[in-house]
């Protein structure tokens, strides 16, 4: 039966009416049939066909029908009956490709969804006021040296923190080990001392740490800080009171806290930390301050500006985050730090039965470890406990917390600030405490004390060795040389004086008993022999011519006789002088030649009988023959006298001839005059040379010997005096040094020994004594002394050689004098009769032995340099101690720092985590992928579900098992909805599927 379709334009719908007659009675029935899938629309002709159950009751048919009507683009072209196979395959490939891409995109979106992505929103909120956090300040040094010393626990603390903590033996063995390593555990006051008592009793006091405090231009002080036990030790917290909150009204360093801190670096001692300065931490006052792990370090000598930014963090719980909060009896406010500490405290309770002082507790359980518990158990197991906490304790990040993000900058402390601190009224108190701490640390610090002890021992040892060498060895050797020099000088002076006496005697003897005879002869004869010989010759010549009668003078015989007699007297007088002169010459010549004195003058207290033995015979004879010149003139004087006599006798013959014969041979007279005058001149020359080169020569030689003896003695005396003066000066300097610097250094060493052994002398006194001006002056004197000592030692060493040469030179004059040999034998002077070579060799040997035996050049060696170096090292250490003990600008830089803490901005950042990808976003992405790749939508998914449901229902309706029953139920349902109450029973009774 064909029924026109109102929705079709001229098209027909074919409806199968088998078992469905009741549905033909109304439009509702037709719709029900269409809903059940019995109505299909042809994709080709636009007609709706009613298909009987025999054709559309299979899944294949339903799928083919679905492919023609679905909104899933491209599927109908794959299943198009009239299309070519190639076209259908192309559409199939395209559809599969787009479906694959769509599937990949959908899977990626699903995976992304289940990764639970999170977005972070950052909001910057500006407030009128901001709460100031708690500020915890810790000194980097945990213990004060003076406090630990006063409690007699300094060395115990030193051993605790300088020893190894890795002991993995049994408990008994560990106890034995620590009892051996820490003998102080035998003291009950240390064994039962708890960690908090240990730290509190020796910690830096806040009154000493906090020198200046200012909160928003208002003064504050140590009273505004609360003691806190942290993982860094005893610290002090500002703004820690729970009920009293500090607020800031503006940003900047003027609206925060300003601190001037004294880290008391002079009180530092071994402890858990080695840095200098402070550690600071900004934190919520309800949270535990983990200063050791999270704190910021500020070194002394700096002005630190700590600007902070408040961050409010909100995290998401699972699955989008890991934040979580846990309740525990150990804390009231959860934080990861509090959780870890609680877990660590609980674990230590199980392992050791005690905890560290900063760890939380529940009404005092577990108790704080004693030092015995700490050393035997805690230190051995803390590493394992930390590993356990890290591996077993779950301490997630809280979902809501605050962070104070710091930004720190530094500047050097200004000179003005330094001067202000130095000029403050507290400087004297600080200086007093500083010096007391310095004394304590210098004594208690093993490294410093042992270093000082080593320097003192080196200086003491080298000083004692040097002092012994100086005051005993060097002094003894110089004394021995000085005594030897004095003995040698006195002995040789005696020899020299005796020799000089003999030479003076000889010179006197030659002068008085030889040369004086020459003078007497000269006065009597020699001087007058040729006196006025030219005038004499003229007078003789005139008279000879006057007596001649063949002249024109016409003198009478009486006058001529008078002239004759007068002339003859004149000539005979000169002849007699010539004879006398020749006799004198012969006597003088013979005296020199034979060494026979002419006179018998006595020299001082010497005997005249000894004059012949003191006569220098070899010298006297040598003066006559020592040279060809002297030989010529010493003998020519006598010849000249005889020649003069000869010409005088010729004058006499001429005078006789002139007087008797009255005639004169003028030529002969003239020739005689010439020869006489020539001999007169030669006589004067010969006599002069004889006197100068022969007669006076012995005296010159003897005077030369005296001068040479004096010269040699002067050289010897100068050398000896120089050596004696050097020895005396050296001994005087040595005595002076012994009484000044050596005595002072010995006293300083005694004071130093008292400081080391008894401790009732301060190191400052030792330092000032060792670095005093007197010590420096004495050291300079020592340096000059040792420098001069080596030079003097070399002078002494060389001086003995020079002295031996000088002494031998004197002995040479004494022993090698042939002019005194006869006298030496006559007087039996044994000292002067020695062999010079033997004496010289003995002198060389004796002086060399003296020089080598008492040589002090190398006696000191390097002892002085070792001593001066050790003393210099000790004095440098003392100078360093004094310099470092001065409260000056350097002290301020080493111990003081300034700290400004403030908000950088009057705002806070609210950082909130949110879900970045929810279900709606997932469906939107899935729908977008479907629409993009296959043109589908969410309704397309409903179509697929509808196909499955409808086809499953149709299959069930057409099945023989459930079909009739379902149709009856459906008919009953349809009747109850569509029929009127009056006719419902009739109609429905006839209605069957």
Q: Nearest Cα to 577, choosing from 655, 639, 642?
A: 642
Are 453 and 442 a contacting pair, CB within 8 Å? no
Using the CB atoms, write b or e for 371-397: b if 16+ within 10 Å.
Answer: bbbbbbbbbbbbeebeebbeeebebbe
Are 308 and 252 a contacting pair, CB within 8 Å? no
Is 593 found in the same domain as 548? yes
- How much is the pLDDT for 135? 95
Is 148 found in the same domain as 75? no
- pLDDT of 669 above 80: yes
Tokens 């005051």 sit on residue: 471
787: left (phi over 0), alpha (psi -120 to 50) or beta: alpha
**Residue 51: band (very low, low, confident or very high) from pLDDT cuts 50, 70, 90:** very low
Tens-place pLDDT, residues 772-829: 999 999 999 988 988 888 888 888 888 899 999 999 999 999 999 999 999 999 999 9
Q: Which residues contact 364 (CB under 8 A, 6 or more apart)?
A: none
**Residue 926: band (very low, low, confident or very high) from pLDDT cuts 50, 70, 90:** confident
- H/E stretch holding 841 reads helix 836-853
Tokens 């003691």 sit on residue: 227
Are 280 and 235 a contacting pair, CB within 8 Å? no
- How much is the pLDDT for 179? 53
- How much is the pLDDT for 557? 84
- How much is the pLDDT for 550? 62
Structure-token pair, residue 30: 């037709």
Concatenating the DSSP letter of every residue in 425-470 gives TTHHHHHHHHHHHHHHHHHH-HHHHHHHHHHHHHHHHHHHHHHHII
- How much is the pLDDT for 28? 43
Is 547 found in the same domain as 437? no
- How much is the pLDDT for 913? 85
861, 884, 907: which is the final residue of a domain? 884
Asked which of 161-175, 239-253, 323-337, 363-377 is least confident by mean pLDDT, the reply is: 161-175
Is 409 found in the same domain as 265? yes
CA 488 to CA 846: how far, in whole Å? 11
Predicted TM-score of the model (pTM)? 0.63
CA 282 to CA 325: how far, in whole Å? 22
CA 639 to CA 582: how far, in whole Å? 9
- How much is the pLDDT for 327? 84
Could you give the C-alpha distances from 405 to 154, 408, 696, 864, in angstroms and in order? 39, 10, 121, 64
**Residue 209: band (very low, low, confident or very high) from pLDDT cuts 50, 70, 90:** very high
- How much is the pLDDT for 962? 63
Q: Tell whether 720 is covered by a domain.
A: yes
Tens-place pLDDT, residues 101-111: 889 998 998 99
Question: How many C-alpha atoms does 758 have within 13 Å on its Cβ side?
Answer: 7
**Residue 960: band (very low, low, confident or very high) from pLDDT cuts 50, 70, 90:** low
- pLDDT of 188 above 70: no
Arithmetic mean of pLDDT, 346-365: 92
Are 311 and 907 a contacting pair, CB within 8 Å? no
Structure-token pair, residue 894: 């080493």
Q: Tell whether 897 is covered by a domain.
A: yes
Is 848 found in the same domain as 828? yes
CA 922 to CA 112: how far, in whole Å? 9
Which domain range does residue 567 map to?
Answer: 530-695
Judged by DSSP in three states, 264 sits in coil
CA dihedral (349, 352, 354, 355) in degrees, to 10, reads: -80
Q: Which residues contact 87 (CB under 8 A, 6 or more apart)?
A: 77, 80
Are 347 and 385 a contacting pair, CB within 8 Å? yes
644, 668, 695: which is the final residue of a domain? 695
Q: Tell whether 523 is covered by a domain.
A: no
CATH number of the structural domain spanning residue 187? 1.10.287
- H/E stretch holding 735 reads helix 697-739
Q: How many CB atoms lie within 10 A of CB 224?
A: 19
Tens-place pLDDT, residues 684-717: 999 999 999 999 999 999 999 999 999 999 999 9
- H/E stretch holding 124 reads strand 118-126
Tokens 């289940």 sit on residue: 114
Handedness of CA 724, 726, 731, 736 (dihedral sign): positive
Judged by DSSP in three states, 167 sits in coil
Arithmetic mean of pLDDT, 67-93: 78
- pLDDT of 283 above 70: yes
- pLDDT of 17 above 60: no
Tens-place pLDDT, residues 443-457: 888 888 899 999 999
**Residue 21: band (very low, low, confident or very high) from pLDDT cuts 50, 70, 90:** very low
Tens-place pLDDT, residues 941-958: 777 788 788 778 777 777
Q: Furthest-apart CA pair in the chain: how many Å? A: 252
**Count of residues for the chain?**
993
Tens-place pLDDT, residues 594-610: 999 999 999 999 999 99
**Domain total of the chain:** 5
- How much is the pLDDT for 981? 52
Structure-token pair, residue 11: 């098209």
Judged by DSSP in three states, 249 sits in coil
Using the CB atoms, write b or e for 509-536: b if 16+ within 10 Å.
Answer: bbbbbbbebbeebbeebbeebbeebeeb
Are 412 and 302 a contacting pair, CB within 8 Å? yes
**Residue 35: band (very low, low, confident or very high) from pLDDT cuts 50, 70, 90:** very low
Is 576 found in the same domain as 432? no
Structure-token pair, residue 915: 């879900």
CA 891 to CA 395: how far, in whole Å? 45
Q: Return mean pLDDT, the chain.
A: 84
Is 841 found in the same domain as 716? yes
Judged by DSSP in three states, 551 sits in coil
Q: Tell whether 334 is covered by a domain.
A: yes
| Position with higher pLDDT, 419 vs 665 | 665
Q: Tell whether 740 is covered by a domain.
A: yes
Tens-place pLDDT, residues 848-887: 998 888 888 888 888 888 999 999 999 999 999 898 888 8
Is 416 found in the same domain as 306? yes
- pLDDT of 408 above 90: yes
Is 14 found in the same domain as 48? yes
Is 691 found in the same domain as 561? yes
Question: How many C-alpha atoms does 103 have within 13 Å on its Cβ side?
Answer: 6
Is 940 found in the same domain as 878? no
**Both ends of the chain: CA-CA distance in Å?**
19
Arithmetic mean of pLDDT, 164-180: 48
* The pairing of beta strand 896-915 with beta strand 302-314: parallel
Q: Tell whether 958 is covered by a domain.
A: yes
Is 456 found in the same domain as 358? no
Are 638 and 578 a contacting pair, CB within 8 Å? no
Could you give the C-alpha distances from 806 to 432, 718, 719, 820, in angstroms and in order? 70, 10, 8, 21
Q: Nearest Cα to 616, choosing from 732, 558, 709, 701?
A: 701
Judged by DSSP in three states, 129 sits in coil
CA 574 to CA 648: how far, in whole Å? 7
Q: Tell whether 351 is covered by a domain.
A: yes
Handedness of CA 213, 215, 219, 221 (dihedral sign): negative
Q: How many CB atoms lie within 10 A of CB 289?
A: 29
**Residue 442: band (very low, low, confident or very high) from pLDDT cuts 50, 70, 90:** confident
Q: Nearest Cα to 531, choosing from 581, 478, 489?
A: 581
CATH number of the structural domain spanning residue 270? 2.60.470.10
Q: Tell whether 596 is covered by a domain.
A: yes
Arithmetic mean of pLDDT, 306-329: 87
Tens-place pLDDT, residues 261-273: 999 999 998 899 9
Structure-token pair, residue 550: 């063949």
Tens-place pLDDT, residues 647-658: 999 999 999 998
869, 897, 916: which is the final residue of a domain? 916
């Amino acid at each position: 039966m064909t029924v026109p379709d109102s929705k079709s334009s001229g098209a027909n719908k074919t409806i199968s009416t088998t078992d469905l007659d009741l549905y033909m009675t109304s439009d509702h029935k037709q719709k029900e049939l269409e809903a059940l899938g019995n109505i299909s629309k042809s994709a080709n002709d636009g007609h709706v066909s009613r298909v009987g159950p025999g054709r559309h009751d299979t899944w294949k048919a339903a799928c083919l029908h679905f492919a023609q009507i679905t909104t899933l683009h491209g599927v109908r072209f794959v299943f198009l009956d009239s299309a070519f196979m190639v076209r259908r395959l192309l559409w199939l490939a395209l559809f599969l490709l787009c479906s694959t891409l769509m599937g990949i995109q959908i899977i990626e979106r699903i995976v992304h969804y289940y990764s639970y992505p999170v977005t972070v929103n950052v909001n910057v909120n500006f407030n009128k006021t901001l709460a100031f956090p708690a500020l915890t300040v810790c000194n980097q040094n945990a213990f004060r040296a003076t406090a630990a010393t006063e409690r007699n626990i300094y060395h115990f603390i030193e051993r605790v923190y300088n020893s190894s903590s890795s002991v993995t033996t049994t408990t008994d063995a560990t106890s034995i080990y620590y009892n051996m390593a820490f003998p102080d555990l035998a003291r009950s006051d240390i064994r039962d001392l708890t960690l908090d008592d240990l730290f509190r009793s020796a910690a830096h006091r806040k009154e000493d740490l906090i020198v200046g405090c200012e909160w928003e231009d208002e003064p504050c002080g140590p009273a505004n800080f609360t003691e806190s036990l942290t993982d860094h030790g005893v610290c002090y917290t500002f703004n820690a009171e729970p009920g009293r909150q500090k607020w800031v009204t503006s940003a900047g360093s003027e609206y925060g806290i300003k601190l001037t801190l004294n880290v008391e670096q002079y009180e530092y001692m071994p402890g858990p930390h080695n840095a200098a300065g402070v550690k600071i931490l900004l934190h919520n006052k309800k949270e535990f301050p983990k200063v050791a792990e999270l704190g910021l370090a500020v070194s002394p000598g700096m002005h630190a500006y700590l600007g902070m930014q408040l961050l409010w963090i909100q995290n998401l719980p699972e699955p989008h985050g890991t934040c979580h909060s846990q309740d525990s009896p150990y804390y009231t406010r959860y934080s990861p730090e509090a959780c870890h500490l609680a877990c660590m405290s609980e674990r230590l309770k199980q392992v050791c039965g005690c905890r560290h002082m900063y760890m939380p507790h529940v009404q005092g359980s577990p108790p704080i470890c004693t030092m015995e518990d700490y050393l035997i158990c805690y230190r051995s197991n803390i590493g394992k406990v930390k590993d356990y906490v890290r591996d077993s304790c779950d301490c997630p990040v809280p979902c809501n917390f605050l962070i104070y993000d710091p930004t720190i900058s530094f500047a050097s402390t200004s000179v003005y600030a330094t001067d202000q601190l130095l000029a403050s009224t507290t400087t004297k108190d600080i200086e007093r405490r500083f010096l007391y701490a310095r004394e304590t640390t210098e004594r208690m610090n093993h490294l410093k004390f042992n270093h000082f002890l080593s320097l003192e021992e080196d200086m003491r040892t080298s000083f004692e060795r040097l002092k012994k060498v100086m005051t005993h060895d060097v002094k003894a050797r110089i004394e021995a040389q000085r005594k030897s020099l004095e003995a040698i000088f006195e002995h040789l002076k005696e020899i020299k004086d005796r020799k000089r006496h003999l030479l003076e005697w000889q010179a006197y003897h030659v002068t008085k008993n030889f040369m004086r005879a020459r003078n007497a002869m000269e006065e009597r004869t020699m001087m007058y022999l040729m006196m006025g010989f030219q005038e004499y010759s003229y007078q003789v010549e005139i008279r000879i011519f006057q007596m001649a009668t063949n002249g024109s003078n016409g003198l009478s015989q009486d006058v001529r006789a008078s002239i004759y007699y007068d002339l003859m007297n004149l000539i005979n007088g000169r002849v007699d002088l010539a004879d006398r002169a020749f006799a004198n010459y012969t006597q003088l010549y013979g005296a020199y030649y034979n060494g026979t004195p002419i006179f018998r003058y006595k020299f001082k207290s010497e005997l005249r009988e000894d004059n012949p033995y003191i006569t220098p015979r070899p010298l006297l004879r040598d003066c006559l023959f020592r040279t060809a010149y002297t030989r010529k003139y010493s003998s020519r004087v006598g010849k000249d006298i005889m020649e003069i006599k000869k010409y005088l006798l010729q004058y006499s013959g001429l005078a006789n001839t002139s007087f008797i014969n009255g005639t004169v041979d003028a030529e002969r007279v003239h020739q005689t005059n010439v020869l006489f005058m020539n001999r007169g001149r030669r006589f004067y020359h010969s006599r002069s040379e004889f006197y100068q080169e022969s007669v006076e020569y012995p005296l010159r030689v003897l005077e030369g010997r005296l001068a040479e003896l004096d010269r040699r003695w002067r050289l010897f005396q100068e050398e000896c005096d120089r050596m004696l003066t050097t020895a005396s000066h050296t001994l005087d300097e040595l005595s002076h040094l012994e009484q000044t610097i050596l005595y002072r250094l010995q006293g300083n060493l005694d004071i130093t020994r008292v400081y080391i052994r008894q401790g009732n002398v301060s190191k400052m006194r030792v330092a000032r004594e060792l670095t005093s001006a007197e010590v420096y002056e004495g050291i300079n004197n020592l340096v000059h002394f040792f420098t001069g000592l080596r030079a003097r030692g070399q002078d002494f060493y060389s001086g003995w050689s020079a002295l031996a040469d000088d002494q031998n030179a004197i002995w040479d004059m004494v022993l090698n004098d042939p002019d005194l040999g006869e006298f030496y034998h006559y007087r039996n002077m044994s000292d002067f009769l020695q062999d010079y070579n033997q004496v010289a060799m003995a002198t060389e040997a004796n002086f060399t032995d003296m020089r080598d035996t008492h040589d002090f050049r190398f006696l000191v060696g390097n002892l002085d340099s070792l001593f001066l170096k050790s003393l210099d090292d000790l004095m440098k250490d003392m100078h360093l101690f004094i310099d470092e003990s001065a409260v000056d600008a350097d002290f301020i830089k080493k111990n003081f720092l300034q700290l400004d803490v403030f908000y950088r901005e009057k705002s806070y950042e609210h950082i909130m985590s949110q879900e970045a990808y929810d279900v709606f976003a997932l469906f939107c992405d899935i729908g977008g992928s479907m629409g993009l790749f296959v043109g589908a939508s969410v309704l397309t998914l409903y179509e697929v579900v509808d196909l499955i449901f409808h086809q499953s229902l149709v299959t069930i309706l057409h099945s023989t098992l459930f079909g009739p029953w379902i149709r009856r139920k459906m008919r009953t349902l349809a009747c109850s909805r569509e029929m009127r109450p009056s006719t419902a029973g009739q109609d429905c009774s006839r209605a069957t599927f």
